[in-house]
Amino acid sequence: MADQDIEQAVSRAIEEAPPRNFRETVDLAINLRDIDLDDPSNRVDESVVLPAGTGQETTIVVFAEGETALRAEDVADDVLDGDDLEELGDDDDAAKDLADDTDFFVAEASMMQDIGRYLGTVLGPRGKMPTPLQPDDDVVETVERMKNTVQLRSGDRRTFHTRVGAEDMSAEDIADNIDVIRRRLHADLEKGPLNIDTVYVKTTMGPAVEVA
């Protein structure tokens, strides 16, 4: 359960946002300090499962064959096999479009080497190399979990953003999501909370409100 300060910040961000004719996302802006981001080992690059979900559609594509591919069809947005992979390797524009339109990729571990060969130069720089699916992993469970997952990625910049919900979710649920992200950052950063300067929450078009 998140603390009241976070929940109050979320409530303010939603209440102060001017009305729009579309469903806005709620985003978190995180500003880091006292950390050398020129060193790649210090950069934030984490997948976090949000307890209350993202409040948005998350596009997931699975690379798989056989039985796993059949099971993935019920839950994934698209399922691609080895032939599809080879075709994408020959069509750079199609590969880039797929990478830009997809939030997460999942792939059978046995296909990872070919994915690296055919799509590594497209997916790698975008931070979208697939999550490997081991033989004992349940593809349905994996995809369902990833639908509630966001990526925290700072790169070499001190300020980075991540989605934490949608404006029609409760402030309490969004606050719980923020709390999980904050705890993960505290655990991962070298100096924990001391590496975080400020954190703001805002809707897509609304004002930013500082999270205490």
Is residue 71 located within the same domain as residue 175? no
- Final residue before a domain boundary, out of 144, 174, 192: 144
Q: Which domain holds residue 68?
A: 60-144
Specify the number of domains making up the chain: 2
Is residue 132 located within the same domain as residue 155? no
pLDDT at 37: 93
pLDDT at 24: 86
* Token pair for 207: 């004002």
- Whether the pLDDT of residue 2 is over 70: the answer is no
Strand order through the sheet with 25-32: 159-166, 25-32, 196-203, 209-210
- Final residue before a domain boundary, out of 109, 144, 179: 144
CATH number of the domain residue 50 falls in:
3.30.190.20
Place of tokens 């929940």: 7
d(CA 200, CA 212): 9
pLDDT band at 21 (very low <50, low <70, confident <90, very high): confident
Is residue 127 located within the same domain as residue 67? yes
Is residue 140 located within the same domain as residue 73? yes
Is residue 50 located within the same domain as residue 153? yes
Is residue 82 located within the same domain as residue 137? yes
Is residue 82 located within the same domain as residue 14? no
Is residue 46 located within the same domain as residue 22? yes
- Whether the pLDDT of residue 20 is over 90: the answer is no
Is residue 135 located within the same domain as residue 65? yes
Cβ atoms of residues 98 and 115 within 8 Å: no
- Final residue before a domain boundary, out of 108, 127, 144: 144
Cβ count within 10 A of residue 179 = 18
Is residue 69 located within the same domain as residue 138? yes
pLDDT digits (tens, 9 = 90+) for 81-137: 999 999 999 999 999 999 999 999 999 999 999 999 999 999 999 989 999 999 999
Is residue 70 located within the same domain as residue 86? yes
Cβ atoms of residues 136 and 94 within 8 Å: no
Is residue 46 located within the same domain as residue 71? no
CATH number of the domain residue 121 falls in:
3.40.50.790
- Whether the pLDDT of residue 1 is over 70: the answer is no
- Whether the pLDDT of residue 148 is over 60: the answer is yes
